[in-house]
Structure 1
Amino acid sequence: MSGTPGPAAGEPLMPGFAPRRRADAASPLRQRSFRLLLIGRTAVSLSDGLMPVALSLAVLQLTDSATTLAAVLSCAVGSRLVLLPLAGVLVDRIDLRLAGLAADLVRSAVQALVGVQLLSHAPNLTVVAVAELFAGAASAVSLCSMSPLVAGVVADSAARQRANSLMGVGRSATLILGPLLAGLLVVTVGAGWVFLIDAVAFAGGAATFTAITVGRPEPSHRSLRADLVSGWRQVSSRDWLWSSLVAHAAVNFADMVLVTLGPLVALHHHNGRAVWTATVQAGGIGLLLGSLLAGRYRPRRPILVGNLVLSACAVPQLMFAQWLPAPLLVAGYGIAWAAMGFLNPVWDSTVQAAVPPGELAKVTSYEWLASLAAQPLALAFAPLAAAAWGAGTAMAATAVLVAVACAGTAVVPGVRRLRMVDGTVLEHGAPHRSAEPAGQPR
């Protein structure tokens, strides 16, 4: 790979993500490239946590218009959704480091531009909206490159679940700190300075890509259409993969319904602001705990166990639907996000082991597309369902949807048969059947 420094001691070899020393399998933190990737992506995650709060507060302070805010936010969300499949093809065709570097540099420039606009005497919200279009496009590239980056840096597949767990710990910590820090900074220094701080953080994230070594398979030379079709075939040919994506989309749909209607329930039946704030914070803590658990527990049937655990996301929907006491609402949301925190590293590790490296970014793009596309559908569904049936009934319906979608994957043959043994995916389950009891922690 042109321009890539040679591997340092203990770094992964380049082509094919070949496995290396078993000592490194136990601790991906021993690898310098992974440590830099973890630091850089955690800093970027913190920036991602700061931006929505800062942007929302800034636009509302300038316009006092929810419509204007929705229009600005939809620029980033819309461009990210539309470009995800193309971003997956792009990432699989070029140097992974270059993809990550370019995405962070674009976002750094965009946040600097937005910060300067917000600090000016007459901010131009059209410029801010256009800038968010570019931010959304860069975010699509970043999302598609994350899983291939972990797979390329941590060459031993047996170590990847712990690596993915550590990445999840970093993300969940920023979810806890980001909104709190954003609110504090907006009040003390102003939203414009928050975006300038974000710009520096993204630049720092970009800098880490200049110092890491990333394994990379041979790039594709097929047409754009052929690459898109190839990525889709990787998904559609695996019943455990596409059926799980349906379940994960259902969870994202239900969570967005809860985020929309939950505050209304908290406001009408409890001390609204305090209860909802505690609920959101419990979600961040739950995500952290689930990510930590995934670093220590490696189920032999990862997709089956992960999806069954994910069915716990129905719990807060039911609790809010029944207007249960506030401590139960907070605990229920924490349980749901702990389930998500556990699933994410388990899922990422399985997909990284099952999908050829040259197809991983394309598959990742379809994963994100399925999950993120469910959110605007939920935003449209929630107010209509609440008006027609009531908020409680709407959330009870989404609870049933989550439980059926997640637990229902257990009837899919590929979900039951897929096993993970020492970082190797056995999609038909026959070999190594007696090597270790199912679900045995390691």
Structure 2
Amino acid sequence: MVNRLLLGRALSALATALIPTTLTLAVLRVTGDGGAVGLVLASELIPLLLLLPFGGVLADRLRPGRVVLLADLTRCLTQAAMAVELLLGLTRLLDLAILSAVAGAAIAFGSPAVPRLVVAVVPGPDRLRVNARIGVATSLSAVAAPAIAGTIIVVAGPGWAAALTAVLFACSAVTLGGIRTDSAVAAPQNFWDDLGQGWREIRQRPWFLGCVLGHGVWHFVAGLFLTLAPVAAVHHLGGETSWMVIVQSGTVGLVLGVFAAPRLRVRRPLVAVQAGAACYLLPMVALAMSAPAAVLAGAYFVAMFGLGLLSPLWETVVAEEIPEGALGRVRAFDQLISFASRPFGLAVAAPLAGVTGVTALALTGGVLVAAANLAALSPHIRKATTGERVR
């Protein structure tokens, strides 16, 4: 079952990573308008954010395998419909936006069920190792997918890239949906009662709320960096090649961090999680100081190595500390903060930089991400450093 889980998650991660490049190039071929690209991509995000709380409740009411099966099948159908339209040359912006919105709704219902599926399949002592392997698959997919999608689009057209994505989602749906679990299922109540109970689980764990808000700040600051740093690299640090070196340095750091997480003897995982997030201070300071490309690449490597450590450790700690029957609702809140924060950072980076300047904004963002994540430990630093239950 564990191997089946890993295969299904790898297929789903690759399919997910193919979509942005496919949609971007498909829309640009039709309209040549960057604003149209933003509209189609935002069409997925809006229903995702609105429906995540409902998805969390559903994830705790139903068997996680069934929820993931339906979610990935829905995403398969949306990609298949896109493929047909693109292959027939009938591309309409409204159609792509609607299909993206349906896919966003599917993500909202499917993503909170995934942590419950991992908990149901993987014994506690093995979860860190499995979460790390899932993280490696996700990271490698993010690296490989743009090249795969780009090559297919250049050779055969965006319709075939969408078709491949549909096939991958079909395979992941069959693989994950076929996993049989004995997960505890919450007794159905009024939706608002279920949602309120999930929020009470969060309020009873201030460490969780503090860490999630800190991670939200991380995503916001990452949005700032990913908007400001490419401009600085292209205009002042040697051009597009320098930015590619910086990005690839971060990718290498991320993959190495995920590999290292289960191999390091981390006695205080919560401290490691928050320290990993706080490392994003480094590239923000390097950006503010107009450091050479090599320095910025090194700083981004360390920051992404911290993220690589953070992801599997956080998944494992939350699975251990949150009751399985509430895990879907609790993780939906976690994902809601993460999904919302980075697009917000991407949207406001340029206007804020126009008011404050890049140096002041980058320094502020760096201090903010470090302070928010390290401060999350302060009420529980004694427990976190003595190895008690809340880590």
When residues 384 and 416 of structure 1 are mapped into structure 2, their CA distance, relative to the original with a 3 A threshold, is farther
When residues 323 and 395 of structure 1 are mapped into structure 2, their CA distance, relative to the original with a 3 A threshold, is same
2:19 aligns with 51
2:79 aligns with 111
Alpha-carbon distance between aligned partners in 1 of 2:7 and 2:250, rounded to the nearest angstrom: 23
Letter of the structure 2 residue corresponding to residue 417 of structure 1: K
> Are the counterparts in 2 of residues 92 and 219 from structure 1 also a CA contact under 8 Å?
yes
Alpha-carbon distance between aligned partners in 2 of 1:225 and 1:93, rounded to the nearest angstrom: 13
2:240 aligns with 273
Alpha-carbon distance between aligned partners in 2 of 1:76 and 1:257, rounded to the nearest angstrom: 21
Match status 1:40 vs 2:8: yes
Q: SS of the residue aligned with 2:297?
A: helix
1:417 aligns with 383
Aligned mate of 1:222, from 189, 199, 203:
189
What stretches of structure 2 of length at least 5 have no aligned partner?
Answer: none
Alpha-carbon distance between aligned partners in 1 of 2:144 and 2:274, rounded to the nearest angstrom: 28
1:391 aligns with 358
Post-superposition shift, 1:62?
1.0
1:332 aligns with 299
Alpha-carbon distance between aligned partners in 2 of 1:37 and 1:298, rounded to the nearest angstrom: 25
Alpha-carbon distance between aligned partners in 2 of 1:395 and 1:182, rounded to the nearest angstrom: 33
Alpha-carbon distance between aligned partners in 2 of 1:131 and 1:251, rounded to the nearest angstrom: 30
1:130 aligns with 98
Post-superposition shift, 1:210?
4.3
Deviation string 1:44-78 (CA, Å, 9 cap, x unpaired) is 11111111011111111211112211111111011
Post-superposition shift, 1:209?
2.5
RMSD: 1.6
> Are the counterparts in 1 of residues 53 and 195 from structure 2 also a CA contact under 8 Å?
yes
Match status 1:403 vs 2:370: yes
- Tell me which stretches of 4 or more aligned residues in structure 1 moved more than 6 Å: none
1:21 aligns with none
Match status 1:369 vs 2:332: no
> Are the counterparts in 1 of residues 278 and 370 from structure 2 also a CA contact under 8 Å?
yes
Q: SS of the residue aligned with 1:412?
A: helix
Post-superposition shift, 1:298?
4.3
1:146 aligns with 114
2:345 aligns with 378
When residues 140 and 272 of structure 1 are mapped into structure 2, their CA distance, relative to the original with a 3 A threshold, is farther
Letter of the structure 1 residue corresponding to residue 251 of structure 2: G
| TM-score normalised according to structure 1 size | 0.85
Alpha-carbon distance between aligned partners in 2 of 1:406 and 1:416, rounded to the nearest angstrom: 16
> Are the counterparts in 2 of residues 304 and 409 from structure 1 also a CA contact under 8 Å?
no
Alpha-carbon distance between aligned partners in 2 of 1:286 and 1:142, rounded to the nearest angstrom: 28
> Are the counterparts in 1 of residues 64 and 114 from structure 2 also a CA contact under 8 Å?
no
1:30-429 equivalences under 5 Å are 33-154=1-122, 156-413=123-380, 415-418=381-384, 426-427=389-390
Deviation string 1:137-191 (CA, Å, 9 cap, x unpaired) is 111222211211111101x212111111111111111111112222222212211
> Are the counterparts in 1 of residues 257 and 305 from structure 2 also a CA contact under 8 Å?
yes
Q: SS of the residue aligned with 2:266?
A: coil
> Are the counterparts in 2 of residues 38 and 167 from structure 1 also a CA contact under 8 Å?
yes
What stretches of structure 1 of length at least 5 have no aligned partner?
Answer: 1-32, 430-442
Corresponding pairs, count: 391
Post-superposition shift, 1:205?
0.1
Alpha-carbon distance between aligned partners in 1 of 2:250 and 2:386, rounded to the nearest angstrom: 28
Alpha-carbon distance between aligned partners in 1 of 2:159 and 2:358, rounded to the nearest angstrom: 37
Post-superposition shift, 1:93?
0.6
Letter of the structure 2 residue corresponding to residue 102 of structure 1: L
Question: Identity of aligned pairs, percent?
Answer: 32
Alpha-carbon distance between aligned partners in 1 of 2:54 and 2:46, rounded to the nearest angstrom: 14
Q: SS of the residue aligned with 2:280?
A: helix
Post-superposition shift, 1:398?
0.6
Post-superposition shift, 1:217?
0.6
| TM-score normalised according to structure 2 size | 0.96
Alpha-carbon distance between aligned partners in 2 of 1:261 and 1:309, rounded to the nearest angstrom: 22
Letter of the structure 2 residue corresponding to residue 191 of structure 1: P
Deviation string 1:71-129 (CA, Å, 9 cap, x unpaired) is 11111011111111110101111111110100110000000111111222231121111
Range with greater deviation from structure 2 (73-82 or 272-281): 272-281
Alpha-carbon distance between aligned partners in 1 of 2:16 and 2:244, rounded to the nearest angstrom: 19
> Are the counterparts in 1 of residues 281 and 370 from structure 2 also a CA contact under 8 Å?
yes
Post-superposition shift, 1:195?
0.5
Q: SS of the residue aligned with 1:271?
A: coil
When residues 203 and 160 of structure 1 are mapped into structure 2, their CA distance, relative to the original with a 3 A threshold, is same
Deviation string 1:326-349 (CA, Å, 9 cap, x unpaired) is 122222212111111101111111
